[in-house]
């Protein structure tokens, strides 16, 4: 008899009570099979191995049949019917072994003996484990336009469900749903829902990608470029989808040449002027375009002085005078400084013309000037304009104090004044 025929006869007997053409009532008299094992409720953890016992006394020539949820036959005797390598049968004990139990394996398992009528024991196996999350939308990647709403959902049988952004420890929402009625660029992120029960924790991530027209920022918008040197003109570009970059000098579109080189560095577009000449001093425009829109920024490349930077301490050395110091970068000689100062509680500025010193190291000009006849315990501000043959550049406002208070307190007051003036008056 072939192997396939033998297997067919075994399965036929197991399912229909037939064996070699003999009806069950014609079987020679034997003792009735008796179940030693008992079925019942089994609660298992997700991922663990499960063994369901089915020990039978006096089995005789009868066959043990394992079924799942009544309709799915797993084994008929030693014959495997269901093809799942995680599910096996112990031939010695007749038990059913399920390795790495999964939620989809939960249900009713019956061990049936092929008597007429069949005898059986039943196991109802329930799996417990971390929550199973049902995400909505089912795709983990969402593509929207800035301004559109976002609706995310994580359904789960859980004690708590919380939402976070980019693996942050800060909770931004709780419950199965997270809604943003009107998105901004700051909402472009990865959102994680976390479902927790007594067994463990489960996570699901949504990647929210927000399309927007380019945002372009010149960094910086004014460049002091010495003649004969190379200089990089940099624009920071933020765009989704990525933007195409074009450069203009004045109204003329630029192309790569001996004078200009283009490149991208991370999120920045860089124009390199290889050899600065007086003729190349101009306004350079960085224009970024994508399918959503266009934006641009202008950088002035000039031979006029760089912005003067104050280097003196905010605490006056004497109660009625203050030595103010600044430095400025300029390839061309500085021709003059226009300085002005006032008390913060006054609307009247005092203007002073300062003759530049001859000091010049690597085109950096350092200048000092003593302000005299100041008031005691006064808060002052000062600014300066530097001039050369190409033009002039004004500094930010700088604050200092003339006070008899402790140095620490005075310095703190000066810092606060400086911050106030920089943001409101620059």
d(CA 135, CA 137): 6
Cis peptide leading into residue 413 (ω within 30°): no
User: From the first residue on, what is the mean pLDDT of each consecutive set of 10 residues in the chain (426 residues)?
Assistant: 42 42 42 89 92 91 92 90 89 88 92 92 92 94 96 95 90 96 95 94 96 94 87 95 96 94 94 94 96 96 92 80 92 92 94 85 87 90 94 94 60 50 44
Instruction: Give the pLDDT of residue 61.
Output: 87
Find tokens 């599910």 and name the residue. 87
d(CA 152, CA 192): 10
The CA angle 186-188-192, to the nearest 5 degrees, is 110
Structural domains for the chain = 31-128 (2.60.40.10), 134-212 (2.60.40.10), 219-302 (2.60.40.10), 309-425 (2.60.40.10)
Instruction: Give the pLDDT of residue 4.
Output: 45
227: left (phi over 0), alpha (psi -120 to 50) or beta: beta
d(CA 381, CA 421): 9
- Contacts of residue 295, Cβ cutoff 8 Å, sequence gap at least 6: 213, 214, 215, 216, 287, 288
Contact indicator for 132, 157 with CB cutoff of 8 Å: yes
Strands 107-113 and 119-128: antiparallel
Neighbours of 318 (CB within 10 A): 12
Q: Tell me phi and psi for residue 156, to 5 degrees.
A: -165, 150
Closest by alpha carbon to 301, among 362, 361, 254?
A: 254
Neighbours of 28 (CB within 10 A): 7
For 67-121, the pLDDT digits (tens) are 999 889 999 988 898 888 899 998 777 899 999 998 889 999 999 999 989 999 9
Burial of 37 (0-12, 13-18, 19+ CB in 10 A): middle
């Amino acid at each position: 008899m072939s192997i396939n025929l033998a297997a067919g006869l075994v399965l036929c007997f197991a399912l229909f009570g037939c064996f070699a053409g003999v009806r069950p009532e014609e079987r020679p008299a034997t003792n009735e099979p008796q179940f030693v094992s008992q079925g019942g409720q089994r609660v298992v953890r997700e991922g663990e191995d499960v063994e369901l016992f089915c020990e039978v006394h006096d089995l005789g020539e009868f066959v043990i049949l394992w079924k799942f949820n009544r309709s799915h036959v797993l084994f008929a005797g030693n014959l495997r019917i269901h093809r799942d390598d995680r599910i096996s049968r112990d031939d010695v004990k007749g038990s059913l072994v399920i390795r790495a139990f999964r939620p989809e394996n939960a249900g009713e398992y019956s061990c049936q003996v092929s008597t007429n009528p069949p005898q059986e024991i039943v196991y109802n196996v329930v799996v417990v484990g971390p929550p199973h999350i049902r995400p909505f939308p089912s795709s983990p990647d969402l593509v929207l336009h800035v301004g559109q709403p976002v609706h995310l959902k994580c359904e789960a049988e859980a004690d708590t469900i919380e939402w976070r952004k980019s693996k942050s420890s800060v909770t931004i929402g709780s419950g199965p749903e997270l809604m943003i009625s009107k998105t901004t660029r700051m909402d472009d992120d990865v959102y994680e829902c976390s479902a927790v029960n007594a067994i463990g924790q489960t996570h699901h991530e949504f990647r929210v990608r927000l399309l927007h027209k380019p945002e372009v920022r010149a960094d910086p918008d004014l460049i002091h470029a010495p003649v004969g040197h190379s200089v990089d003109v940099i624009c920071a570009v933020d765009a989704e989808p990525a933007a195409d970059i074009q450069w203009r000098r004045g109204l003329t579109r630029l192309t790569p040449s001996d004078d200009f080189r283009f490149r991208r560095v991370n999120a920045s577009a860089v124009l390199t002027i290889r050899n600065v000449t007086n003729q190349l001093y101009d306004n350079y425009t960085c224009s970024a375009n994508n399918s959503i829109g266009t934006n641009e920024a202008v950088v002035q490349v000039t031979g006029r002085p760089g912005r003067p930077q104050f280097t003196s301490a905010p605490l006056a050395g004497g109660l009625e005078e203050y030595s103010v110091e600044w430095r400025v970068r300029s390839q061309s000689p500085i021709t003059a400084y226009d300085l002005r100062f006032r008390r913060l509680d006054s609307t009247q500025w005092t203007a002073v013309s300062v003759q530049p010193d001859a000091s010049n190291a690597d085109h950096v000009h350092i200048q000092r000037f003593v302000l005299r006849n100041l008031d005691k315990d006064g808060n002052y501000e000062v600014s300066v304009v530097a001039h050369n043959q190409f033009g002039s550049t004004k500094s930010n406002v700088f604050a200092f104090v003339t006070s008899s208070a402790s140095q620490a307190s005075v310095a703190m007051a000066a810092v606060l004044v400086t911050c106030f003036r920089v943001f409101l008056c620059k």
